[in-house]
Structure 1
Amino acid sequence: MPSEVHPGLWELLFWIFAGSGLVGLPPGERDPALMQAAPPDSVLYFEWAARGPGQPGATGIEGFAADPEILQLTQWIDQQLAKQAPPSPFDEDEENPFDEVLLEKLTSVVPPLVRSLTSHPGSVFVSFHPNPDHPNPDNGAAAAGLARIAATIRAGIMVRSDTETDRLWKLLNQTLVAIPDFHEQEGERTQSIPLPIPGLTLVAHRNDSRILLAFGAGTLDLMTDGLSGRKPGMESNLRFQTAVKQIAVERFSSVGWIDTMGILTNLTKALGPLGLLLRPMAAMVGVDAVDHLVQSSGLEQDVLTQRTFIATAGRLDGALVLAAGPPIQPQQFAHIPADADLVLATSISFTRLFKESRQMIAKTQPLAVRIFDETVRELQSELELRILEDVLPAFGDVVMAFDSPSLGGMVATSLMLSVEIQDTKKATRVFEQLMKLTEQSLVEDSPDLDFGQPHSLKQQPFFGHTIFYIPLTEEDAHWGLSITPTFCLTDQHLLFAIHPQAMKAQLRSLQSKQPGFDQLARRKVAVPDGDCLLYAYLDGPRTSRLAAALLPYVGHDFLHWIGDDTELLDLFAIPSTPAISSYFGDSTASISRQKEGLLIETRNAPPLIVALTFLSFYRQGQTLDLELLAARRRDRTNTTNQFQSKRATNQVVLAAPENRHRTHSTAKAKHSFYPQLAPLLRKAFTAAAPRPRTPDSTISPRQEKSDP
């Protein structure tokens, strides 16, 4: 009898190895008939190529897909998916046909079905078509308006399955038997799938070597007419074709299209009189500025590349004010060590964002703007500073996060954040007030007990600067907390670190004459033409090696976290370091503001196995911190109540330390070894601070060097 496996594992592994960012990779054959089956006025269209077999010994995703260790892992996934028992037919005695019972039945075969479908070229589309049987709703009839929207939607999925059509058609019907009132018509090329909403139709159709799913009246005819050439398809949509050419890649794996103006227009019509309110609301928040979004992904010079263009006609109002920041310049990376393995920079005009946010609130929620203004007044009163006149002008618009081995970091273990300073006098005053409020809040948050060490804000001089930090207390260490917030104000930046050692290493680096990341910024990330608003760099080989080294230790616990009933992966199937790190270079991302919109480009996105490892590492640490914090709050509450009740009778009873230890051991017993190991690993990653450098006052300003 097939083993019962928690569906969450298969859904996750499917998205890692068969979908999401890896759909259509390595790029295989593309089917031109896919665009023919989608109506030319589709407001949403997504197409993917067949998944290629890869090439042994090749670089990038081609070699990764053909690596024997990766093949072994994917074969294990396929074997486990094959063990899933088909769902039993729906039981009419069940009270709620669309409850968790139905979902549980469907999830037993959905992962293998979707994995099989996405192995072949396919597409998804959504369009709107007026339905004369549903007249415009009366004013105020919101329910009728929503019903009309549903009635005008036409959606379809088509997959060219070639020689596997019989198997996929059978697998699809095995999935459908779990749906209430579905009865398979054996031998029929079209199966009607009942829906819980009257008047809506969903059919599955087999068209030679293609499988079609059609939602909405007449959708199947639209698709078959397009395939036969009787009606035009998306290949005749000039806006779509022009947009795709602008972001095309050498070897296509997927393309996506969202016609935001088409969606807004059709929703306005479908809602009738209610729709008259939709467009003004969209204009208030700036949504009407987005004409369309288009995306393409694939290989370019054997590098995984994805491009997305948001057509805005250059508008920067409403929500698009987030793209109104000044362009990031290479010299702004000068304070980052040249050996940085993680760099993230973003530019946001905080002054414009503040003003535009208030303006949008005033337009959309006139009453809420009073709450906004009152909140700002209270904040200004606490700071004894004005937001627009004192706080925002003190700092620049570029915020950076970075990590480097010279700071004792490995990808993110010595993470630093920095904000530029525009006005030193104002920035000093703001920083002093922030530290003052931080100290006050720590004192107010301390428990009213006669024992224990309360949190405090401490400061230490270091290399001509003052470092502020919130040290861990004995209780924090007892509960496994390991982050020590650290702050420092220099003459050029406001700095934040996750522990003092990273801050001290950064200050020493600033006083050295070693080159900074500014000399490498342009070479590390190929930013497209336009104003750079986001810059991201990740040392891919270093990250992959670290992830592969951790995976054998954290993989078991990650799979256990997915579900207690999961049939765990044999540790032998976990790929070794060369099977991961050998195929991926540096990962980069950028956002450029151009005349007609925003261009988002990523290259060599981090391997998803790497993401799996760090998600495991983060998740386990997060679970540890959150659960222990909750237990600590309960412990504090119980102890405080006990203390106050005894104090009322002049009998002060201190909480016994062993009581806290017993509580902690109880919580610890619920976890495996990893939560106890995680803090040690994080601390082990922090290298010793570098040797002292020449003081800042004795060196001349760093000379900017042009890129070679």
Structure 2
Amino acid sequence: MEAQSTTMHLLQLLLMLFGVDQAGLPPGEPDLVVQRAAPVTAVYRSEWTAPGKGDPGAPGIDGFFADVEISNFRQALDRAHRDFSEELDHDFGVTLADWDHAEANLFRMKFLKHVLVRHAGSLWIEPTPAFDEAIMARARKKLEDGNSNENGDASFPGTLEAIPPFWRVSSMILLIRAGDEADRVQKVLELCLGLEEATGNQANEYRHANLMAVPVIMHRHENDLWVAIGESALRQALDRTRQTPEIKAEKATRYEQAISRLGISRVGVTHFVDVEGLRELLRKIPDPAVQAQLLLADLAGLSSVQSCACATGVSQGTLTMRGQIVFNQEPQGLWHVLDTPALTEKDFERVPAKAELVAALKLSPAQWLNSLRKTMKETVPGSQTLLDETIQQMNTELGVMVEEDIFSAFGDTWILFASSEQGAMLDGGLIGSWEVRDPRKAVAAFAEIMKVVANSVSIEDGAKVQQTEFMDRTIYTIETPSYSILRTTWSLCLTDRHLVVASHPQAIKAYLRFLQNDEASFAKTMTGKKSLPKEGQGLGYLWMDSATILTPMISLWSTWIDYSGLVNDGFGEEASSRIQAIDFPSAAAILPYLQPGRATIVRSPRAITLEVERPLPLIAVMENLLRGYLTEYEMSAW
């Protein structure tokens, strides 16, 4: 239904802006074996703890996950996934891994992820060749002799060309500390990755298989599960985990430095990319196409980046996610798109004081286009001409000059907000606005754009654009045929300071009333937890009254069930439900732990920092239930 689709799009937006991954929540105890496994040279590294048990009655994320209803819901999720894995094993076996079906792959990876992150683990990429020249030479000889499967050896592909060049300079390792569930987790790994036919069955043996034509190794040591591309890297990792902890080095590794800068006291999950090391690794690939792409990326600004890091956990008693891009020099290339003034409280003067959701972003389309034009000119001779021709075509179709008329008429501030006074968020109270810089130019440009919109929608049967005068403003509504009771009617209105867009005209009418009555603005409330960043250049801001927004959503559990891959097996004459309505927690279990959250994007001379304070724990629990655009695939994915 259209109403369900709109709801899921909203949840995707909340998840993207304000959600946290379920891995490592609540943060458990650090796993020393996991911490020793990855080498200091890893160019990508992610680690997560096994979820903690929580603390009944405690505030924040620890109390939330210890609540009896939340705990029961997580157990229901685990039970449903466990039953699902057993059914998949029984019904499909090796045919489960259908790498040609993108949607099936995505769902299978979500399922696999849910199982894996219930245990401490690590995933990394290191600059150790998985297939160096010696291995490739041995593979060629075996293939020439026709002995590629001798002694059950599946460690070499049918064709050497099938190995991507990246694995000739690097290796990838996955470690899962599965504990008592090692047998089940191993089976899930084999099913979801299509590795059931891996050769070798002895304990502690290296089992070889091909994953999308690339040789991989499965290995189990006691209750530790390993999946590797690269035998040498795997052996070295095993050696590191068996060693006693060494005396801490005087100089912290890049990974440790990057995570330490984020300031998370109890870390649940981390991600780290050594961009400088990755660029050095890619330069070793003897492929002209790869080198050309790397050159383009460097000119676009990649060469300015030293590292990227992200961590989620508890900071000063608050669930927090922080990410940071660190530069090794003044940012170049497309990073110049960030050369805009910082957000100020004045930007929020036309947002209602009682808005439950406010998101703002500083982004200059003109600066973005100039940066893109300069980068294209420096990277690919002649490509700038193609860009200019594309813009000229847009000028002709729109009837206005994109750069001279539109970009000069509108500014750099984009705001999205929702207020109950403008209508409930799920019923069309979500409003977007684009700052007007030159009102006279904006009126002329908007009129021409709406002519193009009117001509384009008239192609659809029954679709039309209507104009309605309201409070000395013109509201444009795009009417399209719909059989849904809660249909979407996109609406636009140009005021003296903003171009306003909403999914229903009622939201715009309520907004115009707010402006006419000169009601209190959000800018007057931006103190304390609502305040803008005090240091650096604030380029992004988000504030959400989580409890107010989520209260109506909690009443729609029956809708969420329909978006779960664990509800209907889609096979046989009678479908069975793995998640029941009774399994979902009540509002009384959720709301006491929800606090207003804030997110910011801040630029400093050598870094860009993203911080999300008090993100939605509900989204963390429901992450594997939100299906988005995949709802139609359940019957056909397999």
TM-score (norm 1): 0.72
For the pair 1:421 / 2:436, whether they are aligned, the reply is: yes
For the pair 1:470 / 2:477, whether they are aligned, the reply is: yes
Tell me the residue number matched to 1:582.
592
Q: Deviations over 1:653-707 (max 9, x none)?
A: xxxxxxxxxxxxxxxxx9xxxxxxxxxxxxxxxxxxxxxxxxxxxxxxxxxxxxx
What is the alpha-carbon distance in structure 2 between the residues aligned to residue 40 and residue 157 of structure 1?
16
Which stretches in structure 2 are left out of the alignment for 5+ residues? 1-11, 138-159
2:597/2:612 contact within 8 Å kept: yes
2:352/2:521 contact within 8 Å kept: yes
For the pair 1:151 / 2:168, whether they are aligned, the reply is: yes
For the pair 1:496 / 2:512, whether they are aligned, the reply is: no
1:13-52 pair list within 5 angstroms: 21-52=21-52
Q: Which of 208, 220, 223 pairs up with 2:234?
A: 220
Task: State the SS of the aligned residue for 1:456.
Answer: strand
Task: State the SS of the aligned residue for 2:53.
Answer: coil
> Structure 1 residues 424, 302: CA separation in 2 closer, same or farther (over 3 Å shift)?
same
Tell me the residue number matched to 1:124.
123
Greater alpha carbon shift after TM alignment, 311-320 vs 44-53: 311-320
Tell me the residue number matched to 2:144.
none
2:20/2:619 contact within 8 Å kept: no
> Structure 1 residues 611, 373: CA separation in 2 closer, same or farther (over 3 Å shift)?
farther
1:157/1:212 contact within 8 Å kept: yes
Tell me the residue number matched to 2:9.
none
1:382 Cα offset (Å)? 4.2
> Structure 1 residues 37, 180: CA separation in 2 closer, same or farther (over 3 Å shift)?
closer
Task: State the SS of the aligned residue for 2:465.
Answer: coil
> Structure 1 residues 189, 436: CA separation in 2 closer, same or farther (over 3 Å shift)?
closer
What is the alpha-carbon distance in structure 2 between the residues aligned to residue 222 and residue 240 of structure 1?
19
Q: Which of 500, 505, 511 pairs up with 1:506?
A: 511
Which residue identity is paired with 2:167?
Answer: A
For the pair 1:254 / 2:253, whether they are aligned, the reply is: no
> Structure 1 residues 442, 50: CA separation in 2 closer, same or farther (over 3 Å shift)?
closer
Tell me the residue number matched to 2:254.
239
> Structure 1 residues 108, 295: CA separation in 2 closer, same or farther (over 3 Å shift)?
closer
For the pair 1:336 / 2:351, whether they are aligned, the reply is: yes
1:403 Cα offset (Å)? 1.2
Greater alpha carbon shift after TM alignment, 361-370 vs 528-537: 361-370
Q: Which of 352, 356, 359 pairs up with 2:371?
A: 356
Task: State the SS of the aligned residue for 1:120.
Answer: coil
Which residue identity is paired with 2:117?
Answer: T
Tell me the residue number matched to 1:546.
552
2:70/2:589 contact within 8 Å kept: yes
What is the alpha-carbon distance in structure 1 between the residues aligned to residue 422 and residue 320 of structure 2?
31
What is the alpha-carbon distance in structure 1 between the residues aligned to residue 521 and residue 245 of structure 2?
59
For the pair 1:455 / 2:464, whether they are aligned, the reply is: yes
Q: Which structure has the larger Rg over C-alpha atoms? A: 1
Task: State the SS of the aligned residue for 2:594.
Answer: coil
What is the alpha-carbon distance in structure 1 between the residues aligned to residue 492 and residue 108 of structure 2?
52
What is the alpha-carbon distance in structure 2 between the residues aligned to residue 371 and residue 202 of structure 1?
47
What is the alpha-carbon distance in structure 1 between the residues aligned to residue 106 and residue 298 of structure 2?
41
1:518 Cα offset (Å)? 0.5
Task: State the SS of the aligned residue for 1:292.
Answer: strand
Tell me the residue number matched to 2:562.
557
> Structure 1 residues 237, 281: CA separation in 2 closer, same or farther (over 3 Å shift)?
farther
Which residue identity is paired with 1:250?
Answer: S
What is the alpha-carbon distance in structure 2 between the residues aligned to residue 570 and residue 180 of structure 1?
31
Task: State the SS of the aligned residue for 1:336.
Answer: coil
What is the alpha-carbon distance in structure 2 between the residues aligned to residue 62 and residue 288 of structure 1?
41
Q: Deviations over 1:111-145 (max 9, x none)?
A: 88765643333212110125342799xxxxxx869
2:110/2:624 contact within 8 Å kept: no
Aligned-pair identity in percent equals 24
What is the alpha-carbon distance in structure 1 between the residues aligned to residue 449 and residue 100 of structure 2?
53
What is the alpha-carbon distance in structure 1 between the residues aligned to residue 312 and residue 227 of structure 2?
25
> Structure 1 residues 390, 317: CA separation in 2 closer, same or farther (over 3 Å shift)?
farther
Which residue identity is paired with 2:587?
Answer: T
1:403/1:411 contact within 8 Å kept: no
2:21/2:623 contact within 8 Å kept: no
Task: State the SS of the aligned residue for 2:284.
Answer: helix
> Structure 1 residues 594, 70: CA separation in 2 closer, same or farther (over 3 Å shift)?
same
For the pair 1:302 / 2:324, whether they are aligned, the reply is: no
Tell me the residue number matched to 2:538.
532
Which stretches in structure 1 are left out of the alignment for 5+ residues? 1-11, 137-142, 448-452, 624-669, 671-708
Tell me the residue number matched to 2:327.
312
The structure whose RCO (Cα within 8 Å, separation 6+) is larger is 2
1:32-431 pair list within 5 angstroms: 32-83=32-83, 84-85=86-87, 87=89, 99=98, 117-130=116-129, 131-133=132-134, 147-161=164-178, 164=180, 167-169=181-183, 171-172=185-186, 176=190, 179=195, 181-186=197-202, 188-195=203-210, 200-206=215-221, 210-229=224-243, 238-271=253-286, 276-313=291-328, 315-366=330-381, 368-410=383-425, 413-431=428-446
Which residue identity is paired with 1:584?
Answer: L
For the pair 1:601 / 2:601, whether they are aligned, the reply is: no
Greater alpha carbon shift after TM alignment, 106-115 vs 82-91: 106-115
> Structure 1 residues 405, 381: CA separation in 2 closer, same or farther (over 3 Å shift)?
same
Task: State the SS of the aligned residue for 2:292.
Answer: helix
What is the alpha-carbon distance in structure 1 between the residues aligned to residue 355 and residue 441 of structure 2?
30
Which residue identity is paired with 1:226?
Answer: R
> Structure 1 residues 211, 196: CA separation in 2 closer, same or farther (over 3 Å shift)?
closer
1:360 Cα offset (Å)? 3.4
Cα root mean square deviation, aligned: 4.1
1:39 Cα offset (Å)? 1.2
2:330/2:605 contact within 8 Å kept: no
What is the alpha-carbon distance in structure 2 between the residues aligned to residue 302 and residue 396 of structure 1?
39
Q: Deviations over 1:545-586 (max 9, x none)?
A: 1211122x4134334887634632221222111122221212
1:268/1:278 contact within 8 Å kept: no
1:324 Cα offset (Å)? 2.8
What is the alpha-carbon distance in structure 2 between the residues aligned to residue 196 and residue 233 of structure 1?
38
Which residue identity is paired with 1:221?
Answer: R
1:535 Cα offset (Å)? 0.8
What is the alpha-carbon distance in structure 1 between the residues aligned to residue 293 and residue 616 of structure 2?
39
> Structure 1 residues 87, 380: CA separation in 2 closer, same or farther (over 3 Å shift)?
closer
What is the alpha-carbon distance in structure 1 between the residues aligned to residue 625 and residue 226 of structure 2?
36
What is the alpha-carbon distance in structure 1 between the residues aligned to residue 604 and residue 206 of structure 2?
48
Q: Deviations over 1:85-125 (max 9, x none)?
A: 5836999xx9x996479999999999887656433332121
TM-score (norm 2): 0.80
1:294 Cα offset (Å)? 0.8
1:217 Cα offset (Å)? 2.5
2:477/2:492 contact within 8 Å kept: no
Task: State the SS of the aligned residue for 1:582.
Answer: helix
1:285 Cα offset (Å)? 1.9
Which residue identity is paired with 2:314?
Answer: L
1:554/1:613 contact within 8 Å kept: no
Greater alpha carbon shift after TM alignment, 74-83 vs 603-612: 603-612
- The number of equivalent residue pairs is 583
What is the alpha-carbon distance in structure 2 between the residues aligned to residue 99 and residue 115 of structure 1?
19
Which residue identity is paired with 1:56?
Answer: P
What is the alpha-carbon distance in structure 1 between the residues aligned to residue 186 and residue 624 of structure 2?
35
> Structure 1 residues 542, 619: CA separation in 2 closer, same or farther (over 3 Å shift)?
farther
> Structure 1 residues 109, 184: CA separation in 2 closer, same or farther (over 3 Å shift)?
farther
